[in-house]
Each structure stands twice: as structure tokens, then as C-alpha cells.
Structure 1
Amino acid sequence: MQLSDKNECKSITAEEFKNLVEILEIGLPRSIAVGVSGGADSLALTLLLNQYCQDHSIRLFVLTVDHGLREKSKGETKQLSDWLSSWDIELHILKWIGQKPIANIQDEARAARYRLMGQWCKDNEISHLFLAHHMQDQAETFLIRLFRGSGVDGLSAMKKNSEFPTAQKSNNFPKVYRPLLGVNKESLEKYLLNINQKWIEDPSNNNDKFTRVQVRDLLQNNVIKGFDAARLSSTAERMQRVRSFLEEQTILALSDYVSYSDFGYASLDLNFQKNLHEEISLRLLSKVLKTIGGRDYPPRHKKLKALLNTLKKPKFLGKTLSGVIMFQVSKGCIIFTREPKGIPDEINITKLKTYQWDNRFLMEVGEISGKVVPIDESVVKYIVRVIPDIKERFLAIFDHHQLRDRVLPSLPCIIGDNGKLILPDFLLSELNGANLDSFSAVFNK
């Protein structure tokens, strides 16, 4: 079945778009941002949003990324700027600086766009970023993930609103909104034709060496009844409901079987194995590994399944996975701590008031200048000169030498420019009477 011909498809209207935005429940922010490439989808979204923002007294910031991958990109950016100027819209151009990839180009370019737009929104205190993914994009994403063997989460494809796709756990990045996921691409093109607005055709959209282009051709040229963008997009939406339910069950399981410490480690009650469905058990392990390892993505399903099988054995001898060390200090309980070798050796914090360390601890450092380092053996030796019995004090905090020796190297401290050692407040508060300075640090549970 071939997708609808452009002549058979009606244009999206301003009223229909207004309803789509209202479904997102964004409220009335002072300002929002939208990403635009110059293609029909993003240009239609930009112009529809421009009208919506005018009607609701919202300031619209329009962002485009100049990837510098093609010779024509500079001219296309100029053309886009001219088009938007005719609508009294200012274009903010973000340039992708640095060495460009020679492989995996589309994925790398997509990551660069997110990174640049997300950082711009963060720097300018914009909490809403709109993107122009539409029904066909959703269907293509579903198929790509199906071919890669994804489970429920992958097949749920893209959400209409979601957290920003970054490992930086910070509330300062914008939420991402996709109001057009249920809208046919042709209706967006029809909208532009009706207002006499041209758009740019990206030649990479016709390059069949890219997986997404191959999938797009498959969708457009197949003759199987029901194998179309609308049906696949609908299936992805149903998968989102299943995913939401599974996530709710996982949250309940975490509260029952996992205990997170302010010191950045987790304790897992092994009774979870006999009381939880295997799917929830796997999701629980995934969540703990992501949190303790400071990772944006979980281990692959195959590795999670292997870990679950290992935990079912009578004797657990320890394991390392996804930047996390797992070991046992008492019967029926597994400890998860950050693997030290994946932690940055040192990071300068000059002029930084807040800092996200190892994507696990949010540090409030105020006017402190120096470098952040893990509390490794060299730092402990430094503290011994000030507090001779510090190892014994640390042991009293953690109750077990193995826990102490594994957790301490996963914690941050600061060595000031004056050479002074500064400890995180949650640690110093346990060292009664220790004559050391502290900074605020909170574990991202």
C-alpha cells in the first residue's frame, strides 16, 4: 500500500495545530524554542508555532544547526534565514565545530544537533524545545528498532513529550515536544504550498546507503495492506502505554527491593528474584546499573539476562558491568558501586558554581576554585596527616572494610587552588570533629 498522494491529503490547519499543542499541556511559558532545518516538516512546524506564539504572547526562538557537512549548507542556511525574515522571524544559527565523522554520519549529526540545541536552551533558560518529527518519522523509527531486535521500550519509538536525550542529569535542559507525531508529512507540505512557502530538499534523504532511507523506501513502495505509517505509528503508541505500565511496576519494585545510599551506592535485596516477574526484574537491574554507573543507556538485554541468571546462583562471586561493581558483604544482599576506573581523574572547576560530577553527584561549589578528584588512596593518605585515625572513622561509617574500600574511590572531593582538601558535606557530617571544609553534593538517585 502506497502512502497518500499529496493531492489527496488535506493541509493541517492552525486550529488543528493549536489542539495538538494543547494536548501537550505546556501551559503558557514566556518563551519556547523550535529546531528547524529548512525542510518541509520543520519549516511548517516553525510557521505554525510562530502563529501559535503570537496568539498566546509567547516568545519563539528558532534554532538551526549548520553541520558543515555539505558545500551547500552555508547557502541553505542563508536561504532559510531569508525565508524566516519574510515572516519577521529571527534565525539563530548554531555551528557544529570540530572534526566531522566519516562513518555513522546521520547518527553523529543528530547527536550534534541535540547537543547544540540543548546547550543553547540551557544557556538561555528555555525549558521547551519543539521538534518536527511526524507520523512517517515515527513509523520509520519503529521499523528500524524492530529490525534491530528492540523490546517494548524501543518499539514505543518517540514520545510526544520527553526528557532531553542527554546523560547530564540536570533540570536545566529543556523538555522535548513533538506535536506532529500523529500528522502525515504530506499535510505539512500541503500547508506550505497553501501559503506559498518553499522549502529545502536535503539530498541525504534520497541516499539509500542510510538505513532510514532504506526503511522509508520500504514503507512507500510496499503493497501489503496495513503496512503503512498510520498503522505502525498507532502500534508504537500502544507500545508506549505498555512501557508506561512496566515503568510504573519497576518504580514500585525499586521501592521494595533497592535502597540507595547518599554515598552513591545501592543495596539490592535478592528476594526480588522470587517475587517479581522476570521483565520487572530485568528493568530493576537496568535502572540500578544506570543510576550507579551514571550512564544514559542501560546494558544490552543479553547482558542483563546473563546478570540475572548469575544472581540466581547459590554463590555470587562478584561481577562488573556497565561501569558498576557488584559484590556481596552479607547474605541475601548485593551491593552496587561505581567502578573507579571509569571516573575522571581530575576536572577543573574554576568559575563553576554548580557541577555534575561523573553524572552522579550534583555539586554546589560556590566560589571554590580547584579540581575535583575521586577520594582514592592518595587522598586518604593526605587526610591521614590531618586525621590519623581516618581509616577507622571511615570503617565506622560503612560498617565493612570492603564497602569502605569500594565506595570511597567513587566519591568526589575538591583540592583547592591553595592545596586545601575539601570533602562532600554528606561525608564530613559523619566525621564528627574533623577540621576540614566541605561542599554540598547530592547523589542523583
Structure 2
Amino acid sequence: MTLDPEAIERFRRDTAALLGGLPQAGRPLALAVSGGADSMAMLALAHAAFPGAVIAATVDHRLRAAAAAEARMVAEHCHQLGVPHAILHPVSPIGGSSIQARAREARYALLQHWALAAGAAALCTAHHVEDQAETFLMRAARGAGLAGLAGIRARRALAGGDGTLALIRPLLQWRRAELRAIAANGPFVDDPSNIDPAHDRSRFRQLLDASPDLDPAHLAATASYAAEAQQALEDVTELLWKNRANLAHGRVEIELGDLNRELRRRLARRAIGHILARPFDGTAIEPLLDAIAAGRGATQAGVMVSVRGAAAIFAPAPPRRSH
């Protein structure tokens, strides 16, 4: 397979920017390769850009009869390239409602465990411009906030029982047509679930394809601007937490009175999470913010909140009396 040297260099540059440098010896780049055109193009680019420094895995969710043959196709192609490959299966059958979400959770858990066991520097997925645009539209239609509109992050941490792994998306600035042209030099498959209208993403993909005014590149750019704004708010929230949060006697006291509602929302969630000793991302926090603004006390998720001047005080709620 002959690839355009400029495409190889572009992929090398995009990947290195997310890794903070080139892959180090003994720390391979792990690729999630489904067998579709996008991930097969990523496999080709990674193999050319970082020869001898990539490994690949395919997850067979056992949800489609053809999936086993597709995984074997990827395995055979990786063998021809000299890329180590693994086929991964969920321990338990995937079923119930929201089957795509459950499959995604199982897939990332399997890939994380495999990549960490291999000592990988990062796990790469083949998300691209159109994926980002679809995600933005789906979340906007559901009334998502800024964090949701930020869409697919170019880099984030996968944390779990096995440890923490960097998840990177080096193709987020690449178009689907570019990747499909690269994949055409080798084998790939088209997953029929990608056009099944039973799935939300498939319907939004069809909407994009049928709506010339909805430019995927512009939607993806908007998502990236939202991601920058989200990061800025996270940085401001961290600074306010360090400067204002008084953590003593098992409670949190923090001045919120002079802040706008979004910063109050973020700091209140963080304060509740601190009391609970776990992340708190509750969406039903608006009545609590209304109570704080009115100078009233309230309880949220087992945390009692009282107001003293401009400060809100968060503490564990007392146990309920039994009768």
C-alpha cells in the first residue's frame, strides 16, 4: 500500500501533538480498529508514520453475526503489515436498552485493559470531522450544556480499575472522504448499523448528508470553540476553588454571592462532590442554586447547604430519624 507522504507526515504531526512527542521505545501506540474505513485508514497511517511502534485490537461485541469475520479480516491484514493484533470479547452478553451506549462502555473497558497490559503510551480511535459534527448536533438537540456541546475531546484520560490511559483522537481534523480514500487501498467493511435509523447517530448522520447548509467542518469547529470555553471555565473554577474554598471540620465554606450562575453551579457541584468523596455531576441542582441565591438552606444528595452572607456552607446532612 502506497500512501501520500504528506498524509503520513500530517498524521505523525497530529498524533505527536496529542502525545506531547513521538512514541517512546517500548511504549507502543494502541489502535482501536473496527474494520471500518475510518479505522482501517488510521491503521494504514499509523503503520506508515510509526513503523514497528503500533499495536491494534478489534472488539467483537457478539451483537452481529458478521462481526467475527470482520475481526478476523482486521487480524489478517495486521498480520500482513506486521502489526500485533488482538480480538477482544465482552465477558458478559450486551443487552437491554441503550444497547449502543452499553456496547461503547464495554468496548472502552476492554480496550483500556488491553492497552494498559501492553504498556501502550495511548489508545487511538478514528473519530473524525463528521463524527464530531454528528455528536454536536445530537447533544444540541437534547439541550446539552457547554460541556456536552464541546463534543468529542481530542485527548482525555480513561480512568478505571486497571489504571489511567490517555485516549487520543488524531483524526478529528480529517474528513470522512479523505479517510475513505486512504482505506480504499486495502480491505475494509461497512457496518450496517451505521445506517440503521433505529440508532440516534444514524439519523443525525442522514440529516447531515441531506442538509448541505449543515457543514460538518463548521459544526466541528463550533464544538472545538465550545471545548476551549469549557476548558477556560474549568480553569477559572479551579482557581476560585483554591482561593475561596475553606475546607475544615468536614465541611466546605465558599463565597458564591458575587459569581454568575454557571460558576456557582460548578463550585456547588464540586463542593458536594468533596463532601461525598466522589465526583458529583448531578443535573437536578437548579433548585439548590435558587435556594442559595435567595439565602435559604437546602439539601442535595445527602449534603446540607446553609447560607451565611455571601458564603454557602456544605456539610453532610444529619441521618434521618427512624420512628
Counterpart in 2 of 1:120? 114
Alignment size in residue pairs: 313
Corresponding residue for 2:76?
82
> If you compute each CA radius of gyration, which structure gives the higher value, 1 or 2?
1
Q: Which residue, out of 201, 224, 228, partners 2:190?
A: 201
Secondary structure, counterpart of 2:193 in structure 1? helix
Specify the alignment match of 2:164 in structure 1: 173
Which of 211, 216, 230 lines up with 1:222 in the alignment? 211
- State the partner residue of 2:270: 287
Counterparts in 2 of 1:89 and 1:71: CA distance versus 1, 3 Å: same
Tell me the SS of whatever aligns to 1:24.
Answer: helix
Q: Percent identity?
A: 27
TM-superposed CA distance for 1:286, in Å, is 2.2
- Give the equivalent residue in structure 2 for 1:335: 314
- Could you report, residue by residue, the CA deviation over 1:344-382 in whole angstroms, capped at 9, with x for unpaired residues? xxxxxxxxxxxxxxxxxxxxxxxxxxxxxxxxxxxxxxx
The residue aligned with 1:346 is none
Tell me, in whole angstroms, the C-alpha distance in 1 between the residues paired with 2:171 and 2:17.
11
- Residues 230-279 of structure 1 show CA distances to partners (whole Å, capped at 9, x for unaligned) of 11001111111211211111111111332346x9x54122x31x221211
Does structure 2 conserve the Cα–Cα contact (< 8 Å) formed by 1:138 and 1:181? yes
Separation of aligned partners in 2, 1:137 and 1:174: 22
Answer whether contact 1:34 1:62 (CA < 8 A) is retained. yes
1:310 aligns to 2:288 (yes or no): no
Whether 1:243 aligns to 2:230 is yes
Q: Secondary structure at the match of 1:132?
A: coil
Q: Which amino acid aligns with 1:15?
A: E
| 1:354 aligned partner | none
**1:320 aligns to what?**
300
> Could you list the runs of 5+ residues in structure 2 that have no partner in the other structure?
none
Deviation at 1:192, TM superposition (A): 1.9
Q: Does 1:268 align with 2:253?
A: yes
Does the Cα contact within 8 Å between 2:150 and 2:226 map onto a contact in 1?
yes
Give the TM-score normalised by the residue count of structure 2.
0.88
Deviation of the 1:130 alpha carbon: 0.8
- The runs of 4+ residues in structure 1 deviating greater than 4 Å are 294-297, 327-333
Q: Which runs of 5+ in 1 are unaligned?
A: 1-9, 340-401, 407-445
Task: Describe the SS at the equivalent of 2:73.
Answer: helix
Aligned with 2:152: secondary structure? coil
Q: Distance in 2 between matches of 1:65 and 1:241?
A: 32
Relative distance call for 1:295 and 1:202 in structure 2 (3 A) is farther
SS at match of 2:282: coil
CA deviation vs aligned residue, 1:73-93 (integer Å, no higher than 9, x gap):
212211211121111122111
Shift of 1:223: 3.8
Give the letter aligned to residue 292 of structure 2. Answer: L
Higher relative contact order (CA 8 A, sep 6+): 2
Pairing 1:409-420 to 2, within 5 Å after superposition:
none
Which of 132, 150, 154 lines up with 1:156 in the alignment? 150
Cα 1:198/1:282, change in 2 over 3 Å: same
TM, length-normalised to structure 1: 0.65
* Counterpart check, 1:72 vs 2:61: no
- Cα-Cα RMSD: 2.6
